Structure 1
Amino acid sequence: MSAQHERLRMMLTAALFAAIIGIFAQITIPLPFVPITGQTLAVGLAATILGSRYGALSALLYMLVGAVGVPVFSGMSAGMSIIFGPTGGYIISFVLSAFFIGWYIEKTKATVPQAFSANLIGMVINLAFGTVWLKIFAELSWMEALAAGFLPFIIGGIIKAFLAAWIGIEVRKRLASARLLPQPTKNRTA
C-alpha cells in the first residue's frame, strides 16, 4: 500500500475516533462544575491505538466539530461558549494529553504497563490543565478549583487509564497484525 493511501486511512481512522470521543462524551455523571464523562477514556484509547499524531488529530477534530456547533460535547452541548467556558480547558487539553500518551508509547514498548503509565500521565495533564482553566474561567479559589475539577476525578481517571491501556494495547496488537496500522520503523510494537 502506498504511503498516501496509508496516510488517508489513518486520517479516516482518526476521524472515526473523533466520533467515538463524541459518543463517549454522552456517558456522563453530572457534578456541580465538571461532569464525569467517558471522553477521557476515548481519548486514551485513540492515543494508545493510533499514536501521537493521529491520536492528537482525533482529539483536535473532536474539539473543532464541537466548536462549530455539532453537539458532541457532554450533554449534547456544542459551541465556542463551551470551549471558552469553565470546562473548556479539559477539552483543549485532550489534544495535549493524546499527543503525550501516543508519544510515550511510541518511545517505549507498546505494553499494557507502559500504556498505563502514559495514560496516567495523560490524565494528570488533562486534570491539571482543566483545573487551572476552571479556576480562571469560573473565578474559583485554588482550593475550590481542586475540589471541583481535580480531586473527584482521580479514582475514575486511574480506572479509565487502565482500561485505555489494556483495551488499547489489545486492539493495537490486533490491528497491527492485520496490517491496519502503520508498521513501526523500530520493532517496538507488540
Structure 2
Amino acid sequence: MKKGSTYQYVLAAIGTAIIAVLAQVTIPLPLVPITGQTLAIGLVVTILGMKSGVLAVLLYILIGAVGMPVFSGMSGGLGILVGPTGGYIVGFLPTAFIMGLYLKKFGITIPHAIVANVIGMVITLAFGTTWLKIVADLTWTAAFIGGVAPFIIVGLLKAVLAAWLGVTVRRRLKTTQFIQATA
C-alpha cells in the first residue's frame, strides 16, 4: 500500500502527541527536574524514522511556541523558548534530524538506535547548555554543572530505553503495515 504526504502528516501528528504527553512526565529533583521530553524525542524518531520524526518535533516546537501547553509542566509560549531552558527544546530539532539521518544510513536496529539516541542526547545537551550559558550569563563550568552533569546517567538510560522500546514498537507497527519499512 503506497502512502502519501497525508499519511506522513498523520504520523507526525501522532508523534507530536506522544512528545506532548511524555513531556508532562516529570521527576522533580532539587536543582533541575528530569522530564520525559528527551525520551519522547528519541522514541518518536526511532519509531517513525527521519521524515515523520523530524516533522513531529518541528510541529511540537511550533505549537508550543504559539502558546499551546505542550512543553514540560503544561507550559508553552515564546517565553519558554527564549528562556534558560529554551535551548534544549530548540535543540530537539537538530537532534531529531541527525538521529534520523543516522538511522536512515545504518538501519533501525537496537544497537544503532542506542547509538543514535546517545548522539541525540549529546546534541540536545550541547544546544541546551550553550543556550543556558548565554541566557543565564553563566561560565562554561557552571553551565556544564547545571545543564549537563545532572542529566548524563539518566540521559543514557533514556537513550537505551527509547532505542529498545522504539525498535520494538516500530517492528510491531511494520508487521501491521501501519508504518512503512522506509518511513
Q: Give me the whole-angstrom Cα distance separating, in 1, the residues matched to 2:161 and 2:94.
A: 20
1:33-52 aligned at under 5 Å gives the runs 34-52=32-50
The CA distance in 2 between the partners of 1:46 and 1:9, in whole Å, is 15
Paired-residue identity, %: 55
Name the structure 2 match of 1:83: 81
How much does 1:33 deviate? 6.3
1:56: which partner in 2?
Answer: 54
Listed as ranges, the gaps of 5+ residues in structure 2 are none
Offset at residue 56 of structure 1 (A): 1.0
Provide the aligned length of Structure 1 versus Structure 2.
183
Q: Secondary structure at the match of 2:73?
A: helix
Residue-by-residue CA offset, 1:19-75 (whole Å, 9 max, x unaligned):
111111111134566431000001001110111121111111111111111111111
For the 8 Å contact 1:134–1:140, the answer to whether it is kept is yes
- The AA in structure 2 aligned to 1:183 is A
Structure 1: unaligned runs, 5 residues or longer: none
One-letter amino acid matched to 1:21: I
Q: Pick from 10, 20, 23 the counterpart of residue 22 of structure 1.
A: 20
CA distances 1:105-141 after superposition (whole Å, capped 9, x unpaired): 1111321011000100000000011000000011111
Partner of 1:105: 103
Q: Secondary structure at the match of 1:70?
A: coil
Q: Give the Cα–Cα distance (whole angstroms) in 1 for the partners of residues 179 and 2 of structure 2.
A: 13
Root mean square deviation, CA, Å = 1.6
1:134 alignment counterpart: 132
Distance between the aligned counterparts of 1:3 and 1:16, measured in 2?
16
State whether residues 43 and 98 of structure 1, in contact with CA within 8 Å, keep that contact through their aligned partners in structure 2.
yes
| 1:47 and 1:102 in contact (8 A); partners too | yes
Q: Give distance in 1, aligned partners of 2:180 and 2:167.
A: 15
Length-normalised TM-score, structure 1: 0.91
Q: 1:22 corresponds to which letter in structure 2? A: A
The runs of at least 4 consecutive aligned structure 1 residues that moved more than 4 Å come to 31-34
Does the Cα contact within 8 Å between 1:60 and 1:95 map onto a contact in 2? yes
